[in-house]
Structure 1
Amino acid sequence: MASPHSPFTVRAGAALNVALRVPSVFAIDAVLSASLPGEAGPGWVGVVGVLLVRALVVLLSLVVLQLPLKALLQFYTLLLGMVLASASALINYYAVSHSDLQGALLHRAGSSPSVWLALGALQLFFGLGYVCLLRLPSSMSLLVAVDVVTPTWSLVLGLPLQARQAVSVLSGLALVLTTLFCLVERLRWLHKFSRYECMLLRIMVRLYGLQAVLEDTWLRIRLPDVLRLFWITRVTAQALIQLYVNRGEPAGGTHTQLELWSWQDLCDLTSHLIISGCDSTLAVLGMSAVISSLAHYLGLGILAFIGSTEEDDRRLGSVAPILFFILALQTGLSSLDPEERLERLGRNMCLLLTAVLHFVHGMVDPVLMSLSASHVSSLRRHLPVLLVSALLMLLPACLSLLLWRLYHLNTWLFAVTAFCVELCLKVLVSLTVYVLFMVDGCWSSLWEQLDDYVYYVRSSGSVMEFLFGVVMFGNGAYTMMFESGSKIRACMMCLHAYFNIYLQARSGWRTFINRRSAVKKINSLPQLKGAELQHISDVCAICYQEFSAAACTTPCKHYFHALCLRKWLYIQDTCPMCHQRIHLHDTPTVTPPQEREDQQGPGEGEREGERAHREGEEREDGTGRAEEDNDSIEYDSDEWNTRNVAAREEDMDQDQDSDQN
């Protein structure tokens, strides 16, 4: 006997947990896909009644969908018992209601009692299954067995038709009463279970919030797997029906069986299945779940091929289905005509393919930068990433050329082409930065302009990406106003304008301002060159390399390479050693007075005022120096010493302590 915690038992329970929830999805899909009665149907009272019944069916299906596995098993056990009872009653009534059944069966059986024995055995099988599923006591089990075979005995005894029908109806009523008795017995358990679930739900919402409860329910019922199995089962059933219909059609005198299943027939069958696979909202959700599985394994394969271990790159299985479903809602895919639906689905898949390629580029770019910055010389590590990068440039180009040959210029083709060109530019930027880092790794000396070149390349790519975002916003606005406007498209355009245009522009401008401020601060600091470097006898506190050309001095008398300090100032405006703020003294309008007083010490503010007053008097006398640009500010060493005596003494104490250690 298998252990309850064995792998087979766990997998079987997981499969059963998914399979038992699929009928609820079928019920919801059937109710939502059914149309309302037309004008020739019942009046408004009948329409309201139909709507109430459908709402009740949807509500019950949703309740069954989120039940725990144990409750699901009990529900389907009771439902299967009711199905067996209904089948037994219907077969008995059909058998006793047809007067010619006795002669036909006796003729086939050769006037032997084997037919009646088979009918009785079938009824006993139904009765036994009914008793076992509903767990009836032994006293009621015997009564049920007698009840289900009584109509068969009425046939054997040759009773009149009306008497046989009365016996069959009484037998069915007995089964109905037995079922009601079992349901009444389970009402107490149902009441306790409902109270417990409601109490647990209230506690979880109070403690963890509604979002956490919804996420837990999503994971517990495994909704993506349920939708995936629903779509596969639905498409498989439609394929079998289509194959059966095609098999029943005459092939004609000039067609053979081989010609009946040609490639054209297979293409037509595939087109029919694809069209019917997205004819409702739940079907679109099921197709999204299938796309999620395919995208997930595609992403895992690419990650394994390029050797990446980033957890954030495993989100392709979540991004692709969401994008597909949004495109389906935006274009109204399920409400289109079959032919138009197939064409629209193909267009959506092209857009989805370009989006997946963009996501793959986001997976490849960090690996490229890591390999180039770490100076890995193994060709085996570089070749897979470069191969994927080459494919990311080749596939969009081929897709664009193919679509331009098949279609005329329209808004959809313009959008796909723009996405493809943008992807090619992004890959080109990544490869250019990769080449720059690889060249820097081959040089023995420090390449000080490397950071500038990388910034220029990435800034150019960001500007182009921003321009493409603006162009795509204009294309979407034109589509919404003149082609197919909808509320969902308007919402998506607003999200696109916020995330891809506004946030990207703000981030780029902030990066530019920070970089310009860092450059100005570096240019405003004094630099030691030539013979002055020999008196330092120190190394850069950031890269721990000696000063070969120049050393940049901070107000707190710490020495760094200008390039190293500039990279640090991109992140924060404090000294890497003592974390004292590095100010840009030649631009007093940058910092408000109140904020500058907060940043400076109590004595520094007064000294700054005295210095400004003295410089003003020098300008009035004509002895002051002309104003200089921020990039050419020079600081007097005595002034630095006067303003930072305390900081320098503290640093000397720290150095003495470190030497003693």
Structure 2
Amino acid sequence: MAALGPPQPPPSRLGPRLRAAAEVALRVPSLFFIDAIFNSAPVLAGDSLWAGLLGGLLRLLGVLVSSVILVLSQRSLFQFYMISSAFLLAATSVLVNYYAFLHINFHSAYDTNEAFGFQMLPHKGPSLWMALSILQLVFGIGYVALLNIQSLYSQLIILDLLIPVAGLIIELPIHVRQVLVFISGFVLTFYTLAILLSKMKRFYYSTRYVYLLVRHMYRIYGLQLLLEDTWKRIRFPTVLRIFWLTRLTAQAAVLTYVVWMAEADSDVKSRMISWDNFWEVLCSLIIGGCDSTLTVLGMSAVISSIAHYLGLGILAFIGSTDEDDRRLGFVAPVLFFILALQTGLSGLKPEERLVRLSRNMCLLLTAVLHFIHGMTDPVLMSLSASHVSSVRRHFPVLFVSVCLFVLPILLSYILWHHYALNTWLFAVTAFCVELCLKVIVSITVYVLFMIDGYYNVLWEKLDDYVYYVRSAGNIIEFIFGLIMFGNGAYTMVFESGSKIRACMMCLHAYFNIYLQAKNGWKTFINRRTAVKKINSLPEVKGERLNDIDDVCAICYHEFTTSARITPCNHYFHALCLRKWLYIQDTCPMCHQKVYIDDKENTNASNNNGFVARDENEPNENLEDSDGTDSEEEEETDGLT
């Protein structure tokens, strides 16, 4: 047996994380190119039709190439940037040799010293030769390393880059130095083109393989799964987020520098930006952060990250473990993007864009508060129904509920104090009032359940009270849905109509009005039918309950006040049986029909009376020959 050595540390995850970070960073420039193409004027301006068509084709080609680079695999992306960096180093090396030749021999005729940064180098002598030699060595080593050239060819490449410098050192004639510069550049260009042509075959086969793979995945999984896989593979939300933050940071640096220089010229003693200028810079950044569809997507990605961590923090605070409640990071950016498309945010003027963005953010805030209420309401109901007595467990949920009641009121007060009534303010106020009513309904139901748990007595009217409270809340919510539909229709007809707004109104009418009314009416009919069925069954009270000497088969509690007897002679609490009849019409014990009409019920009562069920007596109505009823009974026991 091999000797046991010291425990080995786990493999480091730093390498894959660095590669993932580098992959995301290398995809960001593609978004900058696409954004620059969309925000720029046509490449070729003029009245000519062909010039316009050529400019449009060039723009389309640029977008297509940038999009292809954006969706490349990790390996292909790294290879593309390595080859591009090597070509850039080669071009820079040739330009340095050429302008160094001009700098030394024609310094008086050509002002290349300041134009190309040669003021940083010595003007002449061994210091200049040494600086040029080191610079060309760096370019050559980088070129060789990026293209992974073999040792012999790598030495020749580095030697080729140093030949013009050698001509300067030995002070060859001017025309000879010029020839050496030309030969060095020609050899490097020829070798670069040869490498590019040698990689074209591999590029062709790689492209063909990717095409066949994508076509195969499309045929098997469909377009939706293919797009979802690409979305996750390239980490598109992270790429958008970094693109937007990088763009915003660059704009902030430029604007801050310009404002600081302007203030420095006007007031020498000033070292800090004033509050007014800071607010103007902030507004300019916000306006520039949503000036195109791509930047709106980037802002949506940032909002997604903020909403995601906000949702996780609230879930941890209230102690919820429901996975469905972690969708806030998905719901918030989708709503923001839909609002941006619906209002045409990126196409507005800068001043109008800032106003519209602030209004959209208010609507988004109310929607997020509604979603948070949907997260806290199940936790509040579970705490009240499970009779948890710990104050520490109840306090976070109640605190969040109180905040959900106070924040809409505060938001409505601020908006009504600063703005006049319009369709947008009416919509925000309606959402706030609706949220407050939802919180009141949740707190009321919570209090009812807590009272029921405190007295520890079967409260038969509890279900009715809960139903009345929730029904009142649902009716008010339905009314608000109708009001919001009317408000949206007025906005579309008289203010700003669009196809996206019309589609959203249709979705709102279907999900928030039609389906809600249909489900509410179905619940009402089921409840009324269940009450009618329960009232048709005989009721046992008083001393007859002592003769039963049994428990309810649904809740396993004794009969204290009354019991209902089914046609199959089984006893249940009226409340328990009514809840069961919401689901199905059969007895929980033997699966016979529970409901019979009044005439049959009267005949059955006169003929059979109130006969207690014998547990040892076989039931003739059960047919266990094929095992069907036994399986149904097991499923029913699992439900109870």
Query: Is TM > 0.5 for Structure 1 vs Structure 2?
Result: yes
Q: Who is 1:229 aligned against?
A: 242
Aligned partner of residue 257 in structure 1, secondary structure? coil
Per-residue deviation, residues 479-507 of structure 1 (Å, max 9, x unmatched): 11111111111111111111111111111
Q: Summarize the Cα distance change of 1:584–1:194 in structure 2 as closer, same or farther, 3 Å threshold.
A: farther
- Tell me, in whole angstroms, the C-alpha distance in 2 between the residues paired with 1:349 and 1:201: 39
Equivalent AA in structure 1 for residue 539 of structure 2:
Q
**What residue in structure 2 maps to residue 572 of structure 1?**
584
1:100 equivalent to 2:107? Answer yes
Please give the alpha-carbon distance, in whole angstroms, between the structure 2 residues aligned to 1:110 and 1:522: 105
- Post-superposition Cα deviations, 1:200-225, rounded to whole Å, max 9, x if no partner, equal 32333333333222222221111111
User: For residue 207 of structure 1, what is the aligned residue in structure 2?
Assistant: 220
Query: Structure 2: how far apart are the matches of 1:198 and 1:426?
Result: 52
1:32-47 mapped onto 2 (5 Å cutoff): 32-36=38-42, 41=46, 43-47=48-52
Q: Shift in Å at residue 159 of structure 1?
A: 6.9
1:421 aligned residue = 433
Aligned equivalents of 2:282 and 2:486: distance in 1?
Answer: 36
Question: Do structure 1's residue 49 and structure 2's residue 54 form an aligned pair?
Answer: yes
How far the C-alpha of 1:113 sits from its partner, in A, is 2.1
2:87 paired residue among 71, 82, 87 = 82
Q: 1:554 to 1:252 in 2, by over 3 A?
A: same
SS across alignment from 1:20: helix
Residue 351 of structure 2 is aligned to residue 339 of structure 1: yes
Change (3 A) 1:325 1:541: same
Aligned Cα root-mean-square deviation (Å): 3.0
- Alpha-carbon distance in 1 for matches of 2:173, 2:606: 127
Report the alpha carbon displacement of residue 162 of structure 1 after superposing the two structures with TM: 7.1
Aligned-pair CA distance for 1:3: 9.5
- Amino acid across the alignment from 1:506: K
Relative to 1, partners in 2 of residues 1:253 and 1:281: Cα closer, same or farther, differing over 3 Å? closer
Deviations 1:231-256 (A, max 9, x none): 11111111122233234436345452
Assess, with a 3 A threshold, how the Cα gap between structure 1 residues 507 and 140 changes in structure 2: closer, same or farther.
Answer: same
The question of whether the paired residues in 2 share the 8 Å contact of 1:4 and 1:10 is answered with: no
Equivalence map 1:527-566=2 (5 Å): 527-566=539-578
Q: 1:289 to 1:47 in 2, by over 3 A?
A: same
Greater shift in the superposed pair: 198-207 or 376-385: 198-207
- 1:540-573 deviation digits (Å, cap 9, x = unpaired): 1111122222221112221111111001111222
Aligned twin of 1:622: none
> Distance in 2 between the 1:393 and 1:107 partners?
65
Most deviating of 348-357 and 28-37: 28-37
Give the corresponding residue for 2:15.
9
Deviation (angstroms), 1:228: 0.7
1:388 corresponds to 2:400? yes
1:6: Cα distance to partner?
1.7
- Of residues 389, 406, 422, the one that matches 1:410 is 422
Compute the TM-score of the two structures, normalised by the length of structure 1.
0.86
CA distance in 1, matches of 2:57, 2:208: 25
How far apart, in 1, do the equivalents of 2:334 and 2:185 lie?
A: 50
1:173 maps to 2:178? no
- Distance in 2 (alpha carbons) for counterparts of 1:232 and 1:248: 24
Distance 2:187 2:236 in 1: 40
Deviations 1:306-331 (A, max 9, x none): 11111111110110011111111111
Partner of 2:201: 188
Q: 2:605 is matched with which residue: 637, 640, 648?
A: 637
**Quick one: which amino acid aligns to residue 180 of structure 1?**
L
Shift of 1:106: 11
Q: How far apart are 1:18 and its partner, in Å?
A: 1.4
What is the deviation of 1:189?
2.0
Q: Is the 8 A contact 1:127 1:148 kept in 2?
A: yes
- Name which of structure 1's ranges 206-215 and 27-36 shifts more when overlaid on structure 2: 206-215
Q: Show the 5 A alignment for 1:433-452.
A: 433-452=445-464
1:155-170 mapped onto 2 (5 Å cutoff): 167-170=180-183
Q: Which residue of 1 aligns with 2:620?
A: 649
Q: How far off is 1:140 after superposition?
A: 2.9
Q: Distance in 1 between matches of 2:259 and 2:487?
A: 44
Deviation by residue 1:144-198 (Cα, 9 ceiling, x = unmatched): 2233234445555667877766654443333222121111211222233223323
Kept in 1: contact 2:240–2:301 (CA 8 A): yes
Aligned counterparts of 2:177 and 2:462: Cα–Cα separation in 1: 98
Q: Which residue of 1 aligns with 2:635?
A: none
- Partner residue in 1 for 2:636: none
CA distance in 2 between partners of 1:67 and 1:107 (Å): 39
Q: How does 1:219-618 map to 2 (within 5 A)?
A: 219-249=232-262, 251-254=264-267, 256-258=269-271, 260-585=272-597
| Deviations, residues 59-78 of structure 1 (Å, cap 9, x unaligned) | 22222222221111111110
DSSP 3-state at the match of 1:326: helix
Residue 525 of structure 1 contacts residue 634 of structure 1 at CA under 8 Å; is this kept in 2?
Answer: no
For structure 1, the residue ranges without an aligned partner over 5 or more in a row are: 587-610, 613-632, 655-661
For 1:249 and 1:151, the matched residues in 2 are separated by 46
Shift of residue 439, structure 1, vs aligned partner: 0.7
SS of equivalent residue, structure 2 residue 620: helix
The match for 2:73 among 51, 64, 68 is 68
Structure-1 residue corresponding to 2:633:
none
Q: TM-score, normalised by structure 2?
A: 0.88
Deviations 1:331-381 (A, max 9, x none): 111111111111111111111110110000001100110010011111001
Letter in 2 for 1:199: L
- Residues 545-554 or 557-566, more deviating: 545-554
Q: Assess if the C-alpha contact under 8 Å between 1:520 and 1:584 holds in 2.
A: no
Q: Distance between the aligned counterparts of 2:438 and 2:59, measured in 1? A: 51
**Equivalents in 2 of 1:367, 1:262: separation in Å?**
47
- Which amino acid in 1 is paired with 2:16? V
Change over 3 Å in CA distance of 1:44–1:93 after alignment to 2: farther
The 1:351–1:317 alpha-carbon spacing in structure 2 relative to 1, beyond 3 Å, is same
Aligned partners of 2:259 and 2:277 also within 8 Å: no
Is the Cα contact below 8 Å between 2:86 and 2:147 reproduced in 1?
A: yes
From 35, 46, 51, the counterpart of 1:29: 35
Q: How many Å separate the matches in 2 of 1:513 and 1:5?
A: 63
> Separation in 2 of the partners of 1:466 and 1:169?
80
Compared CA separation, residues 467 and 106, structure 1 to 2 (3 A): closer
Counterpart in the other structure of 1:630 = none
Residue 124 of structure 1 is matched in structure 2 by 137
Amino acid at match of 1:44: L
Runs of 4+ residues deviating >6 angstroms: 101-108, 157-163, 644-647, 651-654
| Residues 1:217 and 2:230 are matched in the alignment | yes
For 2:438, the aligned partner's letter is K
Shift in Å, 1:7: 2.0
- Give the match's secondary structure for 1:251: helix
Q: Distance in 1 between matches of 2:235 and 2:454?
A: 52
Q: Given that residues 88 and 126 in structure 1 are in contact (C-alpha distance below 8 angstroms), is that contact kept between their aligned partners in structure 2?
A: yes
Q: Secondary structure at the match of 1:552?
A: strand
Tell me if the contact between 1:291 and 1:321 (Cα under 8 Å) persists in the aligned partners: yes
Displacement, 1:648?
A: 4.2
